[in-house]
Amino acid sequence: MPYLSQMLGKPVVDAQGERIGSISDLAISTGEVFPRITSLAFKGPGRTPFMISWRKYVGTFDEEGITLSVDAPDIRFSYLQPDEVLLARDLMDRQIVDTQGMKVVRVNDLKLSQSGNQLRLLGAEVGTRGILRGIHPLLERFMLSLSKVLHKPLDEHLIAWNYMDLLDRDLSEVQLSVTHRRLDELHPADVADILEQLDPQQRASVFKHLDEAHLSDAVSEMVDDVQAEFLDDLDDATAAQVISNMDPDDAADIVRDLSYEKAETLLRLIGVEDATEIRRLLGYKDGTAGGMMTTQFVAVPEKSTVRETIDVLRGLDEDHPTVHYVYALDDDGRLVGVLSMRTLVLSADDAVLEDIMYTEVISAPPDETEDEVVEDIFKYDIPAMPVVDENGGLLGIVTTEDAWDAIEEEVINEKNHPKPLKVVGALAATIVGLTVYTIVLVEIFKMTGLPTL
């Protein structure tokens, strides 16, 4: 997770990889609950200050710096707008007070939330870690390691942006307690990014600003571990409401990660129909086609006409997932054909589905592995793959969105649980680093005359 202090001074290069300066500041517009970075300020040759639009020109960024999406000659510079403030210049080292009036503190660093190539200001770090990081990131890491050895936690102390107010009235245009823009105006994925990075108490405060539908959408976008943790922090009635507002496959994935007692409590509190659907999905093993499929699809008898099928589509609920295909079933409920939306729209109203449907259907059994399903979806370039039982009965569908979710989960798991060799290497590096730091600290104590342990 990037902090402002970690970005300042990092190089800025153009699309050709030519260095054109170093990051000096980031600007935000104060009209959002968790405002996006709107401008990039950097120092060019001769330490000349420049400012450019983040959205127009920033291509990628990481711990190494920022790469622009255009060549240097194509950059058009801009100026700070009336509703913008610079993070380092206007907020760092300022005194702030949260809106509850608990205490006055100083901004030691600013935490940012990353989503793709977009950055948002999440809040202010007001604890010791922000000070240590500002001196040098390695010092923060060393003190974290030392605190673990001494069993004295060195926690992050973050105050969310929308719970702060500025004491310095010389900057009267900066209003940190933003109320005129609702949190539910953000995309659920952005809200999920924000909620994942807050502690439980802050998380509970933020989600109060979301209605039930937006909260459920945001929870669906969270990573698995955080989803379960988040629901555990909610009271049972609220958690059950969140689950009931979700798509059955998303709800089943979350319930699967809960303790048995919590899962049973929530399933008893939601509607019988929803609970039955979720329990059915829980019957399939995780990591299989059955475990990743959704049961929200459109299936009609093969004898139906195009007009009758379109009437079924028009009768779907507003929140029904996007329909890519209509599946045709025979009299015994077996999947016998599939029709795209294009086929339905271009066919005559009185055309019968069995005469126009595509019968060479690519499907998967419920016990097929997740990897095999994902591979087939991308191999055959299909938006959704039906899952059928041994008799050909349609059980559900796996969409490209489900496939991407599986890939994302695998990437996250690899990141959080690296191979043993990587773990051993990292552990060895940590031990060496701690040894070096210990030697350095002992020498510093000797030079200053302070007692050593």
Q: Tell me how far apart the alpha carbons of residues 141 and 429 are, in angstroms, rounded to a whole number.
A: 12
Cβ neighbours, 10 Å, residue 375: 12
Lowest mean pLDDT among 64-73, 397-406, 411-420: 411-420
CB 323 within 8 A of CB 339: no
* pLDDT level of residue 143 (50, 70, 90 thresholds): confident
Is the pTM above the cut of 0.75?
Answer: no
**What was the pLDDT predicted at 423?**
43
List CB contacts of 292: < 8 A, sequence separation 6 or more. 249, 370, 373, 398, 402, 405, 406
- Average pLDDT over the chain, rounded to whole? 79
* pLDDT level of residue 165 (50, 70, 90 thresholds): low
Average pLDDT over residues 179-183: 44
Identify each DSSP E strand in 47-182 by its residue range: 49-53, 58-62, 65-68, 84-86, 95-98, 104-106, 109-115, 118-125, 158-160, 164-166
Q: Tell me how far apart the alpha carbons of residues 125 and 87 are, in angstroms, rounded to a whole number.
A: 13
3-state class (DSSP) for residue 289: helix
Q: What percent of the chain has pLDDT over 70?
A: 79
**What was the pLDDT predicted at 179?**
37
Summarised one tens digit per residue, pLDDT across range 105-115 is 678 888 888 87
Q: What is the rounded (10 degree) CA torsion for 136, 141, 144, 149? A: -130
User: Which of the residue ranges 147-161, 266-280, 304-318, 425-439 has the most confident prediction, judged by mean pLDDT?
Assistant: 304-318
* pLDDT level of residue 273 (50, 70, 90 thresholds): confident
* pLDDT level of residue 20 (50, 70, 90 thresholds): very high
388 exposed, middle or buried (CB, 10 Å; 0-12, 13-18, 19+)? buried
Strand partners, 166: 96
**What was the pLDDT predicted at 24?**
93
**What was the pLDDT predicted at 417?**
52
pLDDT greater than 80 at residue 162: no
Closest alpha carbon to 172 in 59, 85, 271? 85
Closest alpha carbon to 57 in 76, 43, 42? 76
**What was the pLDDT predicted at 445?**
45
Pairing of strands 11-13, 65-68: parallel
Burial 233-243 (b: 16+ CB within 10 A, else e): ebeeebbbbbb
